[in-house]
Amino acid sequence: MDDDDGMQLNQERLKLILTQPMPSYSFAETTFSVYFALVDQYDQPQVLHGGTVITLQLLHADSKKPVNPAMLVIDSKQPLTLNSKGGCEVKLRVAEDNKLGGAVGGLRKFSIKAVAPHRDDVDPIITEPVTIVRYRLQVRDNPARPVPKEWFKDEGGRENCVEMQVHLLDKDGHEVTTRRVKLRLVLLYDNLGRVQNQEILKLSPDSKMAIDDEGKAMLRLRIEEVSKNHQKQAFRIKVEPDTDDNPTAVDVSSDVSPPIAVYSKRIKKKGKKSKDSDAAAAAAATAAIPPPGMINGGLHRFMGGPGEGDVKASLPGFGMGYGAGEGHGGAGGGGGGAMGETVHDILNAASQQHLADPGGAGDGSSGPALYHALKSVIQWTGTVVAGLTAMQWQQLGFESKPDGTPDYNRPLYKIQNPNPIIDGIIRQYANETMQNLLVLLKRIEAGGFDDSNMGSIGSGHRHDQLQHHPPHEPQVRPHVTAQVQLQGQHSLVSGSSGGGGGGRGDKTPSGPGSLLKRTSGTWGLVGNAPPGADRQGGFGDGGPMAAAAAAGLPTTVYDMSTFGGGSGGNWEEGGQGGHHRGGPGGHRSPSPPPPSGMPPIASQNSFMWGMNMGTSSQALAVPPLLSQKSMQVLFDEKKKGGGGGAGQPQYADDELRVEYILAKNFNSEQLGMLGLPAYDAGKYLVGFYKEVEVQGGETRMVLITTERVHGLQPHEQQSATTVLLDEMRKGSQSVFELQRFNTVEKMKEAAGVYYWKKMSNMERGM
C-alpha cells in the first residue's frame, strides 16, 4: 500500500459488520458460524492490504461484561484474518456453564464482541444476543388436523380451532420426558413483528399449556380477527417457555408456527340466480321473521324493529300495500317490482323513466327497489368503514437502541398502499351507490318515511288514479308479478299489509284476505287468507304459501275455481258480507278433494291457502317435500314476539353451532316428520335440516332451529340426543361429523345425499 492510500484510509472510519444474522438460540457445545466483514461509512466492502486480524470476546448480553474466556471455543484457524474479499467466517461454540463450575449461573444470553486490535480506524461490533440452551421447543402438526395455511374462523362454530403439537427436544432431536415446562403463547405477524392486541388470541380450555411426561403438549387456539383487518398479513404463533413461572426455563428455546392466513368464511362465487335461490329457500323454509321490506314507522322498523298498526313487511318480489286501518280495506296498494329483479334492473328502469313514473319503481314505492337500494347503500358504507380500517397505520415494533434493546420511544409503523381501496370505493359509489341514494331520496320526497303519511299513501294520488276505473277492475302495474290490487282491498297477495276486515258490501269475490286473479273476464279463487291475517302476529305477515310463492318454488297445482272465499275475521266459517261463489252468504262451500295421491294438506285448520306464481290463474300452490304438520311448525308465527318481528333471519349464525348431522328423519309425536336433526359440539339438538326445492329445480338444505319449532317437547329433544349417541356408539354411517368435511355446507350436502339414497333404496326394496 502506498502512502496516499494509507493517508486516505486513515481519514475514513471503517467498521466491522455481520453479513448474516446471529442465531437466536444454540445448544451448548454445538458449533455455529458467524460471518464478519469490513465496510466503510457507506457500507461498501473494504479490503486492506496485508489483511486485518480480528479478535473475539464473549460478553453477557445484558451487562456487556466479559465472561470467562474459556467459555468461548473457536474452532476456526487462528489468527482470525479478513480474507481478500474483506470477509471472515468464524466457527465457534459456547461451552456448557456447568463444566466451568457454574461460572454464569442462570444467565445464558451472550453477545460476541469483535475488534481489530491493530487498527484504530476500525470500529468494533457487538452482535445480537444468542441464548445457549439445553432443550428446544418444536411446533409440529397434529397428524389428524395439520396447521392450515388458510383458516376460516367462522366455519364450524366455536369448536373450530387451530391445533398444533409442541414437543420438547434435546440437541439430538429426542423427546425429553423428564422435564415439565409451562408454556406461553405470543401472537406474531408473518414478519415476526408482535401483534399489538394479544387479546385476539384465544386458547381452548382443553389445551395443555405444559409439556407432559410424554414430552409434548397439545394446543387448540383461535385467532378472533381476520387478516384483512391487519393489512392482510398472516399470523404466526410463538411458543416459548413461561420464564415468569419458572426462571430456570431460560435453557429452553422457543419456536414459531408456520404462517396462518385468517379469513371469516369461504366466499362462494355465485351468479345472481343462485343468490336469489338461496334467499328463496330461506324464505320458504321459515316465516318466523318478516322478510326485508319497508314497514310502517320508518327506517327503524325497516331494519327489523317492532311494527305498529296494520302495515306489515312485504315479501321480496311484491310491491308495498298499505291498509287504511280499522279492518276496512283501503284503496290502492303500492306498486311492486318484478320477482327476481336486481338493483341493476331497477336502476336501469329508473334511468329510462327519469325516476318520474309514480306507479313504478322509480319513485321508490317498490318494496324490492327500496330494499335493494338501501341494502346497496349499507354495503357501500361497510366497504368504506372496512377501507378506512385497512388504511390505518399498523405498529410493527420498535427501533433498536445501540445496545440492541428496543427503544419504546421510537415505534415503527407500516401502512399498505391505499390507492386500490380508494379506487374501489369511488368506483362502487359511481356505479351503484349514487343511483341508489337517488331512489331513496325520491321515496323520502314522496313522504314514504313519514309516519303521518304512511296511512295515506294508498289514498293519495294513487287513490285518485283508482277512481277512474270501474269498481271491480284491478289496477295492473307494469313489472308487477302475481299481485292483486282491488278497490276495497289494500293488502297484497303476500299478506304483507294488515287490511283484513274490509270488503263490506263488496260484491266481487274479493273477501279481504282472498287472493284473486282475473282470467277471461271472470274471477278465479287462488287462495284464502288464514285466521288472524288482519292481526298482529297473524299469518298475514308473509305466511308460508306467500313465502313459497315469492321463492318461486315448484308447486303441485289443482283447480280451486269452485271454492268460495270467506271474509271477516273467522277463517273457519265465512263472515258477514262476503261473496261466495259456491255457497250462500256467510257459509263456505265444501273444499273439493285433492287429486289422487295428494296429501290433504288444505284442511281448514291445518294449512293456509297460497298462490301459484305464474303457472295457473286458478290454482292452489303446494310446495313439495314439506309435510302438513312440519309446514305449520316451520312457519310458526308465535316465535316472532309480535307482528313486527325482531330482526332478520340469521341462518349463517345458526349453522355456526352445527357439529353433527344425523341422516335420519326425526318423527315428532305431535308435529310429524321434522327433518334431519343437527347437533352442536355438546351433541345437543340445534335444529332440523329440511330439503327445499327452489327455482330451476335446485334443492337446498335449510336449517330450522329448535327455537322456531313451536310445540317440540323437551323430552323429544333429549330423545334426539340419545339417538345420536346410540348411533355413534354403533359406528353408524348415518352420523356426519363436521371434522370429516371441514365445512357445514359439505357436511349437510353429504347427509342429504346419504338420506335420499337410502330412502330410494328402501323404496326399491334393496
Residue 65 exposed, middle or buried by CB count within 10 Å (0-12, 13-18, 19+): exposed
Domain 135-263 has CATH 3.30.420.270: no
Q: DSSP code of 431? A: I
In this prediction the pTM is 0.37
Q: Which three cell numbers stand for residue 260?
A: 396462518
Instruction: Please indicate whether the domains covering 3-133 and 135-263 agree at the CATH topology level.
Output: yes
Question: What are the residue boundaries of the structural domains of the chain, listed by start?
Answer: 3-133, 135-263, 334-397+419-474, 484-645, 650-763
As a three-state string, the secondary structure of 396-410 is EEEEECCCCCEEEEE
Helix (H, G, I), strand (E, B) or coil at 240: strand
Length of the chain equals: 766
Task: Give every CB contact of residue 402 below 8 A, 6+ residues apart in sequence.
Answer: none
Q: DSSP code of 430? A: I
pLDDT at 383: 80
Distance CA 641, CA 536 (A): 10
Q: Are 662 and 735 in contact (CB under 8 A)?
A: yes
pLDDT at 223: 94
Distance CA 291, CA 316 (A): 7
Q: Are 220 and 162 in contact (CB under 8 A)?
A: yes
CA nearest 571: which of 495, 519, 635, 627? 495
**C-alpha torsion 75→78→84→87, nearest 10:** 50
Helix (H, G, I), strand (E, B) or coil at 256: strand
Q: Which three cell numbers stand for residue 60?
A: 453477557
Q: Which three cell numbers stand for residue 631?
A: 309446514
pLDDT at 392: 80
Helix (H) or strand (E) holding 276: helix 272-285
pLDDT at 275: 56
Helix (H, G, I), strand (E, B) or coil at 200: helix
CA nearest 512: which of 592, 587, 602, 574? 574
Give whole-number Cα distances, 305 to 202, 204, 278, 643, in Å.
34, 36, 24, 10
pLDDT at 597: 39
Task: Give every CB contact of residue 417 below 8 A, 6+ residues apart in sequence.
Answer: none
User: What residues in the chain have per-residue pLDDT under 50?
Assistant: 1-9, 99-106, 284-365, 450-651
Q: What angle do CA 271, 275, 277 make, to 5 degrees?
A: 115
pLDDT at 764: 60
Q: Which three cell numbers stand for residue 344?
A: 341493476
Helix (H, G, I), strand (E, B) or coil at 316: coil
Distance CA 602, CA 551 (A): 20
CA nearest 498: which of 455, 540, 546, 452? 540
Give whole-number Cα distances, 44 to 35, 40, 543, in Å.
16, 5, 80
pLDDT at 114: 92
Q: Are 483 and 365 in contact (CB under 8 A)?
A: no
Q: Are 518 and 508 in contact (CB under 8 A)?
A: no
Distance CA 627, CA 599 (A): 8
Give whole-number Cα distances, 132 to 288, 434, 665, in Å.
65, 64, 63
Give whole-number Cα distances, 762 to 312, 454, 667, 674, 766, in Å.
45, 56, 18, 20, 6
Superfamily of domain 3-133: Immunoglobulins (2.60.40.10)
Q: How many CA atoms lie within 13 A of 524 on its CB side?
A: 17
* Block residue for cell numbers 374501489: 424
Q: Are 615 and 527 in contact (CB under 8 A)?
A: no
pLDDT at 489: 35
Distance CA 58, CA 72 (A): 6
Task: Give every CB contact of residue 112 below 8 A, 6+ residues apart in sequence.
Answer: 22, 34, 56, 57, 58, 59, 72, 92, 126, 127, 130
CA nearest 684: which of 709, 652, 659? 659
* Block residue for cell numbers 465457534: 92
